Chains A and B, each alone.
Chain A
Amino acid sequence: MLMVKNPARSRRQRTSSHDGFLQYRNFRWAKIAAAICVAAIAAYLMIDVQPRPNGGSAEGYILGTIGALLILWLTLLGVRKRAMTPGRWSLKAWTSAHVYLGLSLIVIATLHTGFQFGWNVHTLAYALMMLVIASGIWGISMYGALPKALSDNREMMTETQMLEALRSIDRQLHDAAQPLDQHHADLVQSSLEQDPFGGGLWARLTGRYRRCATRAAQAELRREGAFRPKLADDPLERIDTLLERKGAILHRVRRHLRLKALLEVWLYVHVPVTFALISALSAHIVSVFFYW
């Protein structure tokens, strides 16, 4: 990690002390979350609730209220991220708090249940919450592991440039295929016509494209070419070079899309399940008061 000594000379406040959201302010939110958890566990162990620990006791209500409010506040990160209001806030601090306080919910909510589980709306809310947290942990691990790979794979190219390079090679392939016979032209055509990123979510997430026409065309050309006499200025040689280059750039774009998809896909669990959680939570709260 790069560190910058801040002489704080400029008039404008700089935050050039450079740390990621996990280390933010020397793990401030990790410490706060840990303190909350320790306090909650200590209280759980020290207070002897009769007949057994449950969500309906005073302690249970306190934990439940804290948990419910936390869930609502954690959901607000999505608003904070999109509402570009002025003021001295930092989304990094919000993310840091979101992560650690979100993790503390594991302890708070579990203690709130008093370890009473069943096939009901209460446990549904709990299960949904754990699912949200699990997807969040998965997301953080992606955030930790993938940015470096994304950066390395780009090699300073932007996505637009990659796609432009691909289009440029396609144009060259199209021009170079003009003198070919029908069979070879069809092979090139199959590479030009195919959507190289089609193949659904699975292909996108694994980066494996089984029916890649470019690769197939090149393999076929090489298979045939192995026994053909070498000609000077053979148009198939040029096609082969172009297919090779197309294959390389395709590999890069697919990897790029794969990494981006992995960085995002967990949110498609995290966010919708959060809304499911909030409705289950509402049902849980209404029902406990209604049937009490």
Chain B
Amino acid sequence: MSDAFRIAIVGSGPAGLSAAGRAAELGLSHVLLEKTDHLSDTIYKYQKGKHVMATPVQLALRSPLDFDAGKREAVLGTWDEQTAKHGVNVMYHAEVKAITGQAGDFTLALTDGREVKAETVILAIGTQGNPNLMRCPIEDGAVVQYTLDDPAEYNDEHITVVGGGDAGIENALGLAAEAAQGNSVTLCNRSAEFSTAKGPNVAALLGARDAGRMQVLTETTPAKVEKGWITFDTRDGELRIRCDRVIARMGSAPPRAFVEACCAEFEEKDDPRNPGRTMRGVKAGTGVQFTSSDRLAYPILSPTFETTVPGIFVIGALAGYPLIKHCMNQGYDVVEFINGNTQLKPADEPILEKKFAALPKGREVSEWLEVLRTNIGILQGLSPLQMREFMLDSDVRVYQPGEVIFVRGAREDSLFAIAEGSVLVEVNPQDPSITVPIGTGEIFGEVGLISGRTRGATIRAAERSIIVEISRLAALRLQRQVPSAQKEITRISIERQLLQLFKAGLTKEDVAEVVAGAEVRTVRAGEAVISEGEQGSDVFVIRSGSMIVEKAVGGKPVFLSYVPAGSFVGEMALIDGGLRTATVKAAIKADVIRLPGEAFARLMAKKPALEARVRQDMEARRIVNSFVEERKHSFSGAVDLYSQTAKFLIDEGIGEATDVLLIDENLCVGCDNCEKACADSHDGLSRLDREAGKTYAHLHVPTSCRHCEHPHCMADCPPNAIHRGADGEVFIDDTCIGCGNCQRNCPYGVIRMDKVPPKKPSLLSWLFLGLGPGPGEPSHEWSVENSKGEKPKKAIKCDMCAGIDGGPACVRACPTGAAIRVSPDEFLTVARLEA
């Protein structure tokens, strides 16, 4: 292996395969390094027969390998065949441990001791990473493994599974499934709860434990593995048991550390985890650098995918492109770049051309990108490559003078930036002639982005303007990639939030002192920002999430009110002086802005209108306080029930909901007409499970989407298929690739993955002729029998019946009035007590 290859490609996923294929086509000397014994391990590990999607549809594929949506086996088969046909030089069982050297002379050290020399390196290793390894001492000869292919292979063994995630639980259950296997299985979990595992898995595990089929140790970590034995640290001390085999399923570490260490210099540094000790760390400014220390940050890349180490390129998921088509195109492109093709236009050029079609003529795509990037303040930190990616998720439009950009009350969460021209904000809904201008280079709409709440004001173009609409996802990625953009967005958002919240004719200059002293703080669910009876005069503005206000009445906390994002709390103590009169704590994880009390008091002294406005809000709260105080004797039972019910709903996550289905079980006869109506309104699949879910005082929260302010499901959607619609509904569009990320991310279990069943015969032919399965979701058997052709599984969730006249079918179809849809700020008011 002394001869240097022109290109070494690490990782044989879609990106790496495509790059190697292109290199082979061009006749460049190359090697494709794959750590397993087969190509494309991530897709190889998909479950059998999984349908692989090919989105975005509008993007042309540019690769020596073919790729079309289809079954996993077909996709892999095509790639295997074409890789062989192109004569790609693949080296299997080649896991790269370290990369050293410089452009033209890299050395890739493999874990088995071999070395590969190459002039350039393409890293296409994805983001899956390597499994976390056991940290405790392991004696020679002890068996420790990190995967389990077939549980049936092992018989009559003492096996310990480490890790209480889904993988660990499924392995343990598999090993203990058959009593005839004779395995004695122990599962150990670091914490007391199995918080990362799915509910049914945990239930099955505990069932197996209760049935005596396995031992489950919680709050336990392995301390030592010897041949035939394992020792644990448990809460009650050490425990040593028989163990022939350890199966460790403790998640995986992202490959960042490996990438950062490529060609880096090392130095001794303080170990952040063990104060006082030092560790070997990468010297700043060497190796492959990342955009920030954020866990989700990507490497810094040039327009040709080159990292900060010349000669090392990063493509695919590791570069921030999770979709297969992107990856394959980049594999092609990067080899072209390395081969000296500087004229190559990216494959997404036609998409951007279309996006820029409405703009004034005379500029090319790359010129427009440069204009937008330099004109808009927050985009200046983006590289040209990132800018291109950024615009794929964003839109740019020309607005004529007076044209509305968005209206007050609209439920959107995008951010806008002005590339040319200016806009006017109508600050007073009663009088649209009162406006505040925002000029070129600035942003607006950030409140919707941050809090997920409705637009606070209508905004119109003041002159002919070119404005970029940045989708929520693009805006979040931008903040991760460019820390300066994040700081700027935070500062502007605090300033604007204050101006909008308190109105009262305040200007930027007025609030400057308060903004300068403001601090954004993240509060855990249940944590208090204000405690009853303590000293304090700071005012808190809730930026995202929501809070509840409680007061101790007769030793018990009584729920007073629910405070949504975009409100402020803490003004009573500031105005009246004295101690805090109630406790304010987070209903869910929330961001608050702490405004220093003295600065705020000075501002109020300067601006009597502000003080009047704050007093007005305070009066409303005081009425609620005294209402509860007054009734606590006569209505203590009612107050108690109300308070408990409110707590229950908050515990059920209503605090982050915008619209939630509740069922009054005093009325519900269990006819399931809501589920049937849901299925019949949406392709035959019900998006709600009436019976499942928690109940308190006959108020039932069924398993159905609550349309969270910050939807968890949106967090990681590769095709960006989840959006918030005009009425606040969170919905999934047709570009869903069925990956299941949203289902895993949803803490409420309201997303299901399923195939759309075939169309049913009409209601009348069922009524009179008995054709078809009748109203509601057809049975699985019926769907399978009547399906034609292969259909992919897609994510299915409630869209609040958007676009259906009459609104949510579940509520319309309830014969007794048990089903209602409410938003928490309407529902969680003390007004309910008066009834």
Query: Is B143's CB within 8 Å of the partner chain A?
Result: no
Query: Is B727's CB within 8 Å of the partner chain A?
Result: yes
Contacting pair A79 B665 (CB below 8 A): no
Our pick among A12, A146, A158, A171 for the contact of B691 (Cβ within 8 Å) is: A158
Stretch at the interface among A55-63, A66-74, A80-88, A278-286: A80-88
Query: Is A141's CB within 8 Å of the partner chain B?
Result: no
Query: Is A237's CB within 8 Å of the partner chain B?
Result: no
Our pick among A14, A83, A143, A263 for the contact of B821 (Cβ within 8 Å) is: A14
Query: Is B832's CB within 8 Å of the partner chain A?
Result: yes
> How many Å lie between the Cα of A95 and that of B409 in the bound state?
35
Contacting pair A146 B817 (CB below 8 A): no
Contact with B along A6-42 (1 / 0, CB 8 A): 1100111111101111001000000000000000000
Contacting pair B823 A10 (CB below 8 A): yes
Stretch at the interface among B166-174, B251-259, B510-518, B806-814: B806-814
Nearest CB in chain B to that of A173: its residue? B211
Stretch at the interface among A118-126, A130-138, A148-156: A148-156
Stretch at the interface among B232-240, B464-472, B534-542, B694-702: B694-702
Interface centre among A2, A4, A20 (most CB of B within 10 A): A2
- Which residues 71-122 in B have Cβ within 8 Å of A in the complex? none
Query: Is B805's CB within 8 Å of the partner chain A?
Result: yes
Nearest CB in chain A to that of B727: its residue? A12
Contacts of A20 in B (CB 8 A): 664, 666-667, 816-818
Contact A263 to B670, CB < 8 A, known contacts A2-B664, A15-B811: yes
Contacts of B664 in A (CB 8 A): 2, 18, 20
Contacts of A158 in B (CB 8 A): 689, 691-692
Contact A21 to B815, CB < 8 A, known contacts A5-B831, A168-B207: yes
> How many Å lie between the Cα of A148 and that of B358 in the bound state?
61
Nearest CB in chain B to that of A16: its residue? B822
> How many Å lie between the Cα of A148 and that of B663 in the bound state?
12
Contacting pair B211 A148 (CB below 8 A): no
Contacting pair B669 A147 (CB below 8 A): yes
Contacts of B811 in A (CB 8 A): 15, 90
Contacting pair A148 B666 (CB below 8 A): yes
Contacting pair B775 A84 (CB below 8 A): yes
Contacts of A146 in B (CB 8 A): 669
> How many Å lie between the Cα of A206 and that of B800 in the bound state?
40
Contacting pair B669 A89 (CB below 8 A): no
Query: Is B179's CB within 8 Å of the partner chain A?
Result: yes
> How many Å lie between the Cα of A148 and that of B210 in the bound state?
32
Contacts of A6 in B (CB 8 A): 826
Contacts of A151 in B (CB 8 A): 665-666, 668, 695, 698, 700
Query: Is A159's CB within 8 Å of the partner chain B?
Result: yes
Query: Is B136's CB within 8 Å of the partner chain A?
Result: no
> How many Å lie between the Cα of A168 and that of B814 in the bound state?
34
Contacting pair A89 B806 (CB below 8 A): yes
> How many Å lie between the Cα of A95 and that of B813 in the bound state?
10
Contacting pair A11 B699 (CB below 8 A): no
> How many Å lie between the Cα of A87 and that of B808 in the bound state?
10
Query: Is A231's CB within 8 Å of the partner chain B?
Result: no
Number of A-B contacts (CB under 8 A): 148
Contacting pair B812 A90 (CB below 8 A): yes
Contacting pair B809 A84 (CB below 8 A): yes
Contacts of B726 in A (CB 8 A): 11
Q: A246 to chain B: closest CB distance in Å?
A: 13
Query: Is A172's CB within 8 Å of the partner chain B?
Result: yes
> How many Å lie between the Cα of A14 and that of B822 in the bound state?
8
Query: Is B677's CB within 8 Å of the partner chain A?
Result: yes
Contacts of B692 in A (CB 8 A): 158
Contacting pair A92 B820 (CB below 8 A): no
Contact A147 to B812, CB < 8 A, known contacts A3-B835, A88-B805, A159-B691: no
Query: Is A215's CB within 8 Å of the partner chain B?
Result: no
Q: A271 to chain B: closest CB distance in Å?
A: 12
Query: Is A175's CB within 8 Å of the partner chain B?
Result: yes
> How many Å lie between the Cα of A82 and that of B813 in the bound state?
9
Our pick among B210, B727, B818 for the contact of A172 (Cβ within 8 Å) is: B210
Our pick among A7, A82, A86, A148 for the contact of B775 (Cβ within 8 Å) is: A82
Q: A97 to chain B: closest CB distance in Å?
A: 12
Query: Is B625's CB within 8 Å of the partner chain A?
Result: no
Query: Is A260's CB within 8 Å of the partner chain B?
Result: yes
Our pick among B179, B767, B807 for the contact of A13 (Cβ within 8 Å) is: B807
Our pick among A2, A79, A156, A168 for the contact of B695 (Cβ within 8 Å) is: A156
> How many Å lie between the Cα of A14 and that of B824 in the bound state?
13
Contacts of B694 in A (CB 8 A): 156
Q: A248 to chain B: closest CB distance in Å?
A: 15
Contacting pair B804 A171 (CB below 8 A): no
Contact A2 to B806, CB < 8 A, known contacts A143-B816, A147-B665, A263-B670: no
Query: Is A45's CB within 8 Å of the partner chain B?
Result: no
Contacting pair A148 B691 (CB below 8 A): no
> How many Å lie between the Cα of A84 and that of B762 in the bound state?
11
Our pick among A2, A5, A15, A84 for the contact of B681 (Cβ within 8 Å) is: A84
Q: A106 to chain B: closest CB distance in Å?
A: 22
Nearest CB in chain B to that of A19: its residue? B817
Contacting pair A21 B813 (CB below 8 A): no
Query: Can you offer 26 A-B residue contacts whose CB atoms are under 8 A?
Result: A1-B835, A3-B832, A3-B835, A4-B822, A11-B409, A14-B821, A14-B822, A19-B817, A20-B667, A21-B815, A81-B673, A82-B775, A83-B763, A88-B807, A89-B806, A89-B812, A90-B811, A91-B815, A95-B815, A143-B669, A143-B816, A147-B818, A148-B698, A151-B666, A151-B698, A263-B671
Excluding A5-B829, A15-B811, A92-B815, 18 further A-B contacts by CB distance (< 8 Å) are: A1-B666, A4-B827, A4-B831, A7-B826, A11-B409, A16-B822, A18-B820, A81-B673, A82-B775, A87-B805, A92-B814, A147-B665, A147-B666, A147-B670, A148-B666, A150-B668, A150-B670, A156-B695
- Minimum-distance CB pairs A-B, first 6: A3-B835, A151-B665, A84-B680, A158-B691, A92-B817, A86-B805
Contact residues of A with B, CB < 8 Å?
A: 1-7, 10-16, 18-21, 24, 79, 81-84, 86-92, 94-95, 143, 146-148, 150-151, 154, 156, 158-160, 168, 171-172, 175, 260, 263
